[in-house]
Amino acid sequence: MSSTDPTPSDSHLLGASDIRELAEAFGVKPTKQRGQNFVIDGNTVRRIVRAAEVTPEDAVVEVGPGLGSLTLALLEVARHVTAVEIDPLLAQHLPTTVAARMPEKAENFNLVLSDAMEVTELPGPAPTALVANLPYNVAVPVLLHMLATFPSIERTLVMVQSEVADRLAAKPGNKVYGVPSVKANWYADVKRAGAIGRNVFWPAPNVDSGLVSLIRREPPKTAASREEVFAVVDAAFAQRRKTLRAALAGWAGSPAAAEQALAAAGIDHRLRGEMLTVEQFAAIAEHKPVKDSE
Binding-site positions for S-adenosyl-L-methionine read 37, 39, 64, 85, 115, 133
User: Do 202 and 265 contact (CB within 8 A), yes or no?
Assistant: no
The 8-class DSSP code of residue 143 comes to H
C-alpha 292/C-alpha 149 separation (Å) is 34
C-alpha 61/C-alpha 77 separation (Å) is 13
Put the strands of the sheet holding 155-161 in their side by side order: 109-113, 80-85, 59-63, 129-133, 155-161, 209-216, 188-196
Helix axes 162-169, 179-187, angle to 10 degrees: 60
> Residues with Cβ < 8 Å from 156, sequence gap 6 or more?
52, 129, 130, 131, 143, 146, 147, 188, 212, 213, 214, 215, 216
Q: What angle do CA 61, 62, 68 make, to 5 degrees?
A: 135
User: Do 46 and 73 contact (CB within 8 A), yes or no?
Assistant: yes
Binding-site members are 37, 39, 64, 85, 115, 133
